[in-house]
Amino acid sequence: MLALKLILTPLFIGMASLAGRRWGPVVSGWLVGLPLTSAPVTLFLAFEQGTTFASRVAQGTLMGILSQAAAFSAALLAALLIQACALWLMRRQTASSL
């Protein structure tokens, strides 16, 4: 079981990296976005600690993914607002100099 723990997660990451070389960065990005590290850990926890504990770990993992998505969305919105403000200021400055 220890050997499987040591081999499985790096194998998944390596396969995603090789897929990126073969099919490009889009495929690699989709694969890396999957829970390649947390899913095997949850599987091993289910074997060792029971399914009730593993289900709570899986819920925590999903909440972590949701929080990352929320942070990304907030950062994207902030970047778009800053860009819109910068464009507005540039247009205003160009219009006043004419």
Burial class of residue 87 in the structure, from the number of CB atoms within 10 Å of its CB (0-12 exposed, 13-18 middle, 19+ buried)? exposed
- 2-23 and 25-32 are packed helices; what angle lies between their axes, rounded to 10 degrees? 150
- Give the residue among 50, 27, 46 at the shortest CA–CA distance from 38: 46
Q: Give the model confidence (pLDDT) of 17-69 as tens digits.
A: 899 899 998 988 888 778 778 888 898 999 999 999 999 999 999 999 899 99
User: Per-residue pLDDT averaged across 72-91, rounded?
Assistant: 97
The pLDDT of residue 98 is 67
Can you give the residue range of the structural domain that contains 71?
A: 2-97
Q: How many folded domains does the chain comprise?
A: 1
